[in-house]
Amino acid sequence: MRKTALLAAVLAIAACAPAFNPESVADATADQLAKVEPPCWWSGMKNSLQLMVNGPEISRYDVSFEGLKGVKVSEIHKADSPNYLFVDVAVTGNVEGDGWLVFSEGGKPVMKAPYHIGRKATGERESFSTADMIYLIFPDRFANGDPSNDRIEGMNDPDGRDVYLGRHGGDIQGIIDHLDYIASLGATAIWLTPVLEDNQDFESYHGYAVTDHYAIDPRFGSNALYKEMTDQAHARGIKVIMDIVTNHCGTFHWMMKDLPFEDWINQWPEYTNMNAAFSTNFDPNASQYDLALQEDGWFVPMMPDMNLDNPFTLKYLQQWALWWTEFAGLDGLRVDTYPYNEKEPMSRWCQAVLADYPWINIVGECWTSTADQLAYWQGGNANPDGFDSHLPSIMDFPLEEAIVAGLCEDGDANMWGRGLTRVYEALSHDATYHDLSNMMTFLANHDHNRLGDTFNANPDKMRMALGLLATVRGIPQLYNGDEMLFSRAYDNWHDGSKRSDFPGGWKADITVPDLFTAEGRAMDYYAPAPYPRTVSPELYDFTAKLFQWRKNTPVLHDGKTMHFLTRDNTYAFFRYDGTDTVFVFVNNSSEPHTIPWDHYAEINGGLVEGTDVITGAKVNPSAGLSVAPQSILIVEF
């Protein structure tokens, strides 16, 4: 009875406690409180909330959360720097509204800052899968929809279209303006290279040296405009994938002048470059010295290496991905330089994202030419060391290299290990991978040479490449401009030259054909740098027809593969399921080849007349059908 009475008294006192009066505490000024990250949060999240608070001598304060029932500070952590606090905030129930972070000293409130708690969106979204074609956009070089943001006062690295590695003015509005063009290609998802603030003083245009994790670079637009882009994309049936960089940031990041912890980043007595030896993560013969360089070395001098072994750094990067997914309504994530991260913490990063968004797909850039080394990084793989990355999807670099190298090798006979035999051999390793449905297939991306240069401006080579991309297993990704075989912009070979501007994306250049339009594609092409030196506009129709067809052909999304080996620079394979079959024959040789239909007897029974996917004509591959040199035949039965 005494305990019951005591509890009743406590509850009565609590009920009578005065509500927090915001007017009783001064608002924190920018000089007192510089950052609170994440800038808002949501109830219903499985991941707990840890605020990073930054301001001069902020560590001398106690912190409480006032004004929202069910939200309270559970623990406060001091950092190495007195200018940071890490504040654990418990959010219980289905709370929503505005509350206050109250900073007190000696029991007396000194200042307050508003903080919003929303409600997590209900229901699951559909992430990218084999049913999609992903269109990769390099925003600075795609389209300039808002010239007024080309130069922003106070931002480093001003625009200059004549500068190889400078900013050219492409932005988010330019992407919004051309979403219909993207949809016309049959693309159902877009992946943008990073658009967060990259305020480096040089080569900031690519976005991979982030200087503020929670702000869109104003030269690309704003947080609100990015969210509008995702809304506009969704209205057209296009998913949005954000490029996430957990391994490094930029030397001009606002934290770099005053790190929260000395080991927030990996530091060395002098600059130490990584060694790109991914194998050290599982090689039984690897030295700890080489592994340390792989995990802790810097990518380049302008990109400090984040230390995910620090639990506060890891939590910061987990929440960052969660915040953008919820705020912008993202449909997927792409993780840059995945194996450069400390692997165990990065596995926990994936688990944290998937805990709140179990439906989301995450693809990691694991740039290796070897199938077993690539397979190691896909979640669920039966690795001998027991490691599980929990990373759902991986980029299929071995297949990309095989397709491109094979198509570049001419010849007709005795193509042992060369020509299209490379593609056969790459796909022969499919048993190595844990989940073939979660392999991102591609021909090139922003880090590769332009295919217009690789294929020497040969549209026949590009048709074969596009046909393979559309029909092999996996999730196809197409880099912007490859639908028209863009070449580099300048004679010399460097990243800036490869990332040529998209003709038509800069309306001020009135003499440049607008390749976003049929009228522009019908014009004779001439455009000076920074536009591509050569283009093949006639490929647009081929690309659009191919991927619009693929979008509505489930056997290419989920079907099995059977392929047949030759040594004459041809390649034949079937995609099939219980009801449908697609037959593909690629002839990369210089001579016409008759389809050896009898060789395929184990699978072609009952397949007589099909439809040429590109021409729409009826074809009978069994009737001695000849395929022209450097061409591809795709037949749907």
Give the residue numbers marked as catalytic: 336, 365
- CA 463 – CA 458 distance, rounded (Å): 9
CB-side exposure of 615: number of CA atoms within 13 Å?
9
Q: Which two tokens stand for residue 18?
A: 């005065």
**What angle do the packed helices 343-356 and 311-328 form, to 10 degrees?**
30
Nearest to 254 by CA among 207, 314, 202, 200: 200
Amino acid identity at 93 = G
CB burial readout 408-437, b (16+ within 10 A) else e: beeebeebeebbbbbbbebbebeebbbebe
Contact by Cβ (8 Å): 637, 620: no
Neighbours of 262 (CB within 10 A): 12
Contact by Cβ (8 Å): 184, 544: yes
**What are the angstrom distances between the C-alpha of 392 and each of 265, 278, 331, 375, 402?**
26, 18, 14, 11, 23
Contact by Cβ (8 Å): 387, 373: no
- CA 312 – CA 299 distance, rounded (Å): 21
Please give the DSSP secondary-structure letter assigned to residue 338: G
Contact by Cβ (8 Å): 419, 408: no
Helix extents (H) in 30-101: none
Return the HEC string of 238-279: CEEEEEECCCECCCCCCCCCCCCCCCCECCCCCCCECCCCHH
Nearest to 171 by CA among 253, 124, 228: 228
Please give the DSSP secondary-structure letter assigned to residue 34: -
Contact by Cβ (8 Å): 442, 476: yes
**What are the angstrom distances between the C-alpha of 632 and each of 416, 469, 485, 584, 589?**
21, 12, 17, 7, 11
Task: Give the chain's largest Cα–Cα span.
Answer: 98
- CA 155 – CA 220 distance, rounded (Å): 12
Tally of residues, the chain: 637
CB burial readout 92-123, b (16+ within 10 A) else e: eeebeeebbbbbeeeeebbbbbebebbebeee
CA 205 to chain centre: 17
Residues 6+ apart with CB under 8 A from 445: 136, 477, 479
From edge to edge, which strands make up the β-sheet containing 631-636?
Answer: 560-564, 570-576, 581-587, 631-636, 610-612, 618-619
